[in-house]
Amino acid sequence: MRQDSSAVRPTKGFMGSTATALLSLPLLAVVVGAAEPSQSSPPFGERVEVEVVNVDVVVTESSGRRVTDLTKRDFALEVDGRPTLIEYFAAPASAVDGEALAPREEMAVAQTIPIPARSPDLANLFVFVDQSALAWKTSARILDEIRDFVRSRAGGTERIMIAAFVEDLRILSPPTADWARIELAFDELDSLRGRGSLVATERSRLEHDVRNYGRVRIGSQPRGTAPELVELRAQREGEVQEQELQQLEAAIQNYGERELDRQARAIAALRQWIGALAAIEGRKSVLFAASGYSSQPTAFLTQFLNQKLGKMVRPSNQASASLQATGVSLMVDFEGMVQAAQNARVAFYTVSPRQGPVEQASAEFETTSGKLSGAPPPTDLALTESASSLTRLAAATGGATLALDEDLSDRLDSVRADAAAVYSLGFATGDAAGSSDHAIVVRVNRPRLEVRHRETFRRQTLAERAEQALVAAVTLDTTANELGLVLELGTPEPLDKKGSERRVPILVRIPLGLLSLLPSGATREGRLFARVAIQNERRDVELGDSGAIRISVPEGDLSRALESFWAYRAEVLLSPGRHRFAVVVADEVAGVVSTAAQSIEIPKE
């Protein structure tokens, strides 16, 4: 966390530490004010929450034409290999909704699950560009295609969001239908330039050095040179070549370390962004432009060098072993990001440059003897793995892979076509599902049809859902306030005469009438936890620790409690600039997550 951007400090008399930049809010167990009780709020302890897993399915013929006339009886759903009842079904809006309701034999089960009738989901199209490895010209072409595609959708109700990764996560616009704001985001995205071209240049230079390894000679050898001088000369050339080899291996190692670090940061940024999207209801279509991810970015260079040396494998050292371990960790993180995308109902449509075949042996590929090796360079496993990573991401989330070629503009239309042809199959889950991943398989009973959908689901913990909602509130201007939180930011006050930081009081009110309180002897008990986040004008986000709230209301005070708030206070230290503050409160009894957010401007002096 950045120490200079913001800090939450406790008010006088509260327990807490100010050692970190952002701390959990100190809690104040106090009843304040009066709230108008909600007429629709359930009595204490009577809230019932049922979790429903939605599986979005696109069905196509072998020709690619989407099929939208299927009914509920045409689908079969399996979870972990076991047939699972489809308790909620919604066909595409254009389809004949002949069987949207559960059949008679399923009504006994369906009646125990309060699933509301389906209302059309707001359309969402999100754009994420990993600029960190795309060459400049490639990036410009992809952005032109995506901008034209998005521009064709302007003027509707669809929400568009633009984000990127260069050296860190950049959210350039929240979900919005405001085309002027979207255009500004695209302009900013176009101005961002990552290291893609520099990475390609460095890799080409290393490949050139590998190809030319061993060509160093120490002058010319005159005729009649004494044998001992010939031997000395050969020894010297061997020493020079060994020094050259060590320098080349070190350069390849450094390149690999930088590449793995870049990819790790890109995957972490993407996962953070996906976490924010998870708080947005419905299926999300993401146009994701990237070059892919590889756990072995130096594989080609190392194997090519071994080929030049005439060895299958050069003995590994501690540095290369560490590089391999880092690569394995990278792909574990990548798989975690893929799983997070599935849980967030995010369908990825990946856009990447099409990789051409590796050139065959030519005069470039000479051995140290100067003769043609007769063998092509090894296959570049990094390119293969990078392409496979994007295919994996698209297939696992029910999306598709798109290549940067002449028909990309036509292929982009498939994103719109899929969104209009999605079926939604829902089934109930609960504590028995645990926290592990569960495999999903959807089949249709018509022959020669193909289905695309997410492959797994994992039941999200309350803490995970709370963090996702908090990140969405602070970065995407997206809040969901079922608990009726009231967030108040006080007047900024100077911390001291010399500094530019301002102390901002915070008050968060929680209407007790909207909480689930369980009977416990002569009292009603509630369990909540709260967490805060701040985003500064550089769009850096800091997440605070989670703070527990325990509420105990005597039975004799219930009527007063129904009209009151539970409140807590804190102070935030903010540097000059515009900041967005968000708070999430989770009701552990009901499993309900609620967020509120406000922006504040700290003047620069």
**Both 388 and 513 in a single domain?**
no
The pLDDT confidence band at residue 559, using thresholds 50, 70 and 90, is confident
Same domain, 284 and 384: yes
Greater pLDDT, 367 or 382? 382
pLDDT exceeds cutoff 50 at 27: no
pLDDT at 264: 96
Q: How does residue 406 score in pLDDT terms, banded at 50, 70 and 90?
A: confident
445 lies in a domain? no
Answer yes or no: are the C-beta atoms of 508 and 487 closer than 8 Å: yes
pLDDT at 113 over 50: no
Indicate whether 210 and 329 sit together in one domain.
Answer: yes
Distance in angstroms (rounded) separating the CA atoms of residues 5 and 501: 9
Number of domains in the chain: 2
Q: Which residues of 383-416 are buried (b: 16+ CB within 10 A; e: fewer)?
A: bbbbbebbebbbbbbbbbbbbbeeebeebbebbb
Judge whether 541 and 533 are in contact, CB under 8 Å: yes
Assess if residue 580 is contained within a domain: yes
Mean pLDDT within 222-243: 68
267-276, 451-460, 569-578: least confidently modelled range:
569-578
In this structure, is residue 96 part of a structural domain?
Answer: no
Q: Is residue 39 part of a domain?
A: yes
Is residue 594 predicted with pLDDT exceeding 90? Answer: yes
- More confident: 42 or 551: 551
The residues pairing with 505 across neighbouring beta strands, listed in sequence order, are 571
The pLDDT > 90 percentage for the chain reads 43
Which has the minimum average pLDDT: 35-49, 436-450, 565-579? 35-49
Tokens matching residue 590: 């009901």
Answer yes or no: is 95 within a domain: no
Q: Do 171 and 284 share a domain, yes or no?
A: yes
Q: Is residue 444 part of a domain?
A: no
Q: With b meaning 16 or more CB within 10 Å and e meaning fewer, what string describes 301-337?
A: bbbbbebbbeeeeeeeeeebeebeebbeebbebbeeb
Which pLDDT band, with edges at 50, 70 and 90, does 236 fall under? confident
pLDDT exceeds cutoff 90 at 3: no
Residues 395 and 475 in one domain: no
Distance, in Å, from the CA atom of 585 to the CA atom of 481, rounded to the nearest integer, reads 9
Per-residue pLDDT at 135: 86
Q: What local confidence, expressed as pLDDT, does residue 114 receive?
A: 36
Rounded to whole angstroms, the Cα distance separating 457 from 278 reads 13
Asked if residue 312 and residue 175 are part of one domain, the reply reads yes
Q: How confident is the model at residue 444 (pLDDT cuts 50, 70, 90)?
A: very high
CATH number of 592's domain: 2.60.40.10
434: phi > 0 → left, psi -120 to 50 → alpha, else beta; which? left
Based on the domain organization, do 382 and 310 belong to the same domain? yes
- Where is the domain boundary, 417, 440, 471? 417
Task: Return the closest-CA partner of residue 61 out of 485, 417, 593, 371.
Answer: 417
pLDDT band at 193 (very low <50, low <70, confident <90, very high): confident
56 in any annotated domain: no
- What is the pLDDT, as a whole number, of residue 359? 41
Taking a C-beta distance cutoff of 8 angstroms, is the pair 516, 547 a contact? no
Same domain for 142 and 198?
Answer: yes
Say whether both 297 and 366 belong to one domain: yes
Considering 364, 395, 417, which residue would you say is the last residue of a domain?
Answer: 417
- Cα–Cα dist 475/276, whole Å: 8
What pTM did the predictor assign? Answer: 0.80
Distance CA 446, CA 431 (A): 34
**Are 179 and 280 found together in one domain?**
yes
Question: Tens digits of per-residue pLDDT, 29-53?
Answer: 344 443 343 434 444 444 445 688 9
Confidence at residue 73, expressed as pLDDT on a 0 to 100 scale: 95
Determine, yes or no, domain membership for 26: yes
**203 vs 380: CA distance, rounded Å:** 12
158 and 41 in a common domain: no
> What's the pLDDT at 290?
93
Q: Are residues 372 and 473 in the same domain?
A: no
**Bridge partners of 580?**
535, 599
Lowest mean pLDDT among 114-118, 195-199, 232-236: 114-118
Question: Is residue 127 pLDDT above 70, yes or no?
Answer: yes
Q: What is the pLDDT of residue 557?
A: 86
Residue numbers of the domain that contains 497: 6-47+462-602
Q: H or E element: which one contains 421?
A: none
Tell me the backbone φ, ψ of residue 412, rounded to 5 degrees: -65, -30
Residue that wins the pLDDT comparison between 125 and 122: 125
Q: What is the mean pLDDT of the chain?
A: 80
Averaged pLDDT for residues 238-254? 85
Contacts (Cβ under 8 Å, ≥6 apart) of 545: 23, 24, 531
